[in-house]
């Protein structure tokens, strides 16, 4: 085994690390949370990552992205992250997928691409809840990030089942959507009980790249909380894949 994975093997043992090497993880949403999660999983030796996002890299998102730089502005997030991780972690296969998640695209035969586990780091409610509903109804292990933007206090972060999330407006909307469709439990989440700072008006200089849905307000955000959320999701995934859950 390569020297770079020695400490991971020390932590999980040979059998646990072998499971990590053989795993394929799908990460949907490659912003602040998703990019940190992907980086952590690749550096931990996960064999294959399916990186899913519809949007492109923007200049204002670079303060939260753990991997890509200015040369990737206006390029697809999935491709940028895939190529960057390939250079940093050549032992991990990265598969970029540029799609907008809908009920139809999720049902496509090659969407999951044989992924063992799904990470949801999507910030748009409809695609997020559609993916979570699909995973819950099909028995696919899924780990989901609730709202990280506009927060700064790591002591307010909690993890647990979707049914016990509190203090997070995004989690409340997700629970409401899923409950109407018969899903109330079985989704592992990370969330914060901290009240977020107030959003700002939409940024006219940064149009929505997918041209879908309503124009959203600008949410002030640092790298710290999305990073912690992403690493928390990565730890939850690694423990499950290695058999410690």
pLDDT at 50 over 80: yes
- pTM of the predicted protein model: 0.93
Average pLDDT over residues 206-233: 77
Instruction: Count other C-beta atoms under 10 Å from residue 239's C-beta.
Output: 13
pLDDT value, residue 152: 96
Top-level class of domain 3-242: alpha beta
Residue spans of alpha helices (H) in 22-93? 32-43, 77-88
Alpha carbon distance 158, 87 (integer Å) = 33
pLDDT at 204 over 80: no
Cβ(29)–Cβ(122) below 8 Å: yes
Cβ(50)–Cβ(26) below 8 Å: yes
Select from 12, 16, 82 the least CA-distant residue to 49: 82
Alpha carbon distance 151, 223 (integer Å) = 10
Extents of the domains making up the chain: 3-242
pLDDT value, residue 135: 96
pLDDT value, residue 209: 45
Q: How far is CA 138 from CA 36, 186, 188, in A?
A: 27, 11, 15
pLDDT at 207 over 60: no
- Indicate the pLDDT class of residue 210, thresholds 50, 70 and 90: very low
């Amino acid at each position: 085994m390569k020297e770079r994975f020695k400490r991971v093997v020390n932590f999980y043992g040979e059998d646990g690390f072998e499971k990590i090497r053989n795993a394929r993880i799908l990460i949907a949403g490659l912003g602040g949370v998703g990019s940190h999660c992907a980086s952590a999983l690749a550096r931990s030796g996960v064999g294959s990552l399916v990186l899913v996002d519809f949007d492109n890299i923007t200049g204002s998102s670079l303060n939260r992205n753990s991997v890509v730089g200015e040369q990737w502005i206006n390029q697809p997030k999935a491709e940028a992250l895939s190529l960057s991780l390939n250079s940093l972690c050549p032992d991990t296969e990265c598969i970029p997928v540029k799609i907008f998640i809908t009920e139809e695209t999720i049902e496509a035969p090659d969407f999951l691409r044989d992924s063992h586990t799904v990470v949801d780091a999507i910030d748009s409610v409809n695609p997020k809840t559609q993916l979570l509903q699909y995973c819950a109804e099909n028995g696919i292990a899924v780990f989901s990030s609730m709202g990280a933007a506009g927060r700064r206090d790591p002591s307010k972060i909690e993890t647990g089942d979707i049914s016990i999330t509190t203090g997070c407006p995004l989690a409340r909307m997700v629970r409401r959507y899923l409950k109407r469709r018969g899903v109330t439990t079985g989704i592992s989440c990370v969330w914060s009980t901290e009240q977020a700072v107030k959003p700002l008006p939409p940024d006219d200089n940064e149009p929505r790249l997918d041209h879908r849905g309503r124009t959203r307000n600008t949410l002030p955000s640092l790298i710290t909380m999305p990073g912690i959320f992403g690493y928390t999701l990565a730890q939850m995934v690694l423990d499950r894949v290695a058999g410690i859950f």
